[in-house]
Every structure is written in C-alpha cells, then in structure tokens.
Amino acid sequence: MALPRTLRVAILLADVPMPEIVAKHGDYLAMFTHSLRTGAQQLSPSVTVETTGFDVVNDPPQYPVNPSDYDAILITGSKADCYRDLPWIERLVHYVHDTATEHPTLKWLGVCFGHQVIARAFGQATGVSSEGWEIGNVDLKLTDVARQLFNTSRDTMVG
C-alpha cells in the first residue's frame, strides 16, 4: 500500500473563462483542481492534491514566492496570444525561464497557451498557425521523432 502523499500544484491563471463556462464548471482554478484531484484519486487513492491559484494577468501580478513549496506549476490556457509582447506575457515568459532554471526538478504543465509560454521561455518560436486557431481536440500530425517518443506507428494522434 502506498504511503499518503500530498501533491502541491501552483496554478498560474492566465485568463478567466467565459461567464457561461464559469456558471457551469467554475473558473480555471476550480476546473484544474477538480481534474487533478479526480485523476490522482483514480491513479492512487493515497495521493491528495492541494492547489493554489495565482493571477498572472492583472496588476499586481501574483506568482509563487517560493516555487520550491510546490511539486509542479501548471499554466492555464488563455484567449491571449502567447507570441505578443504584452507586459504580463513578457513577465510570465521570464518567470517560467528563470524559475525552471533555478528549480530544475520542478515539474511544469502548460495547457494550450501555457504550453506555448513554456516553449517560448526556452527559445522556441510561437506564432499564428497557417490553419487558424485550434480549439478542443484536433488531430496532430506526428513526426518521426514524435512517433518514437509516443511509441506508435500512427501518423496522427488526437491532441
């Protein structure tokens, strides 16, 4: 039997969902907390999840004072474009780079916009897709490296 463990996750809130989504499912902090707790319980009932939300958009922005207090940092999605040079996005990109560099064992999860912020923080190009916005589940074309990474021979997977 596994020992009880608490997983501490900082959630960097990069947006607020539309009012009809909030009314039905709650804000991003509530949604991600629910998903993380449900997943943890299914995988290992001895694991509990504690989340703390940080509003990184509005002034003054909020960030974890001591990132080592957390096991992971999750960056939510946003209606904003990660490649724009808005002050709050620039701060977030620099925070991710500096924090990940200073705390190399800290785990990161970016959802949509958040994933792009992590990529940008480490020098990867982000920009407008020639096929427009992707919302929801879409088929992703796999490269040879991706097929190896995911141990599959398929040409696509749902992302």
Higher pLDDT, 155 or 51: 51
Tokens of residue 55, six digits = 């509003």
The CATH number assigned to the domain with range 5-128 reads 3.40.50.880
Tokens of residue 89, six digits = 């996005």
What's the pTM? Answer: 0.86
- CA gap 17, 84 in Å, rounded: 20
- CA gap 40, 53 in Å, rounded: 18
Q: Give 156's strand partners.
A: 141
Q: Where are the domains of the chain?
A: 5-128
Give me Rg for the CA atoms of the chain: 17
Tens-digit pLDDT profile for residues 67-109: 999 999 999 999 999 888 899 999 999 999 999 999 999 999 9
Per the CB < 8 A criterion, the answer to whether 69 and 85 are in contact is no
- The answer for residues whose C-beta is within 8 angstroms of residue 36's C-beta and 6 or more apart is 7, 9, 49, 51, 74
Q: What angle do CA 133, 135, 138 make, to 5 degrees?
A: 100
Maximal C-alpha separation, the chain: 50
- CA gap 68, 10 in Å, rounded: 10
Q: What is the pLDDT of residue 2?
A: 67
Confidence of residue 127 (pLDDT cuts 50, 70, 90): confident
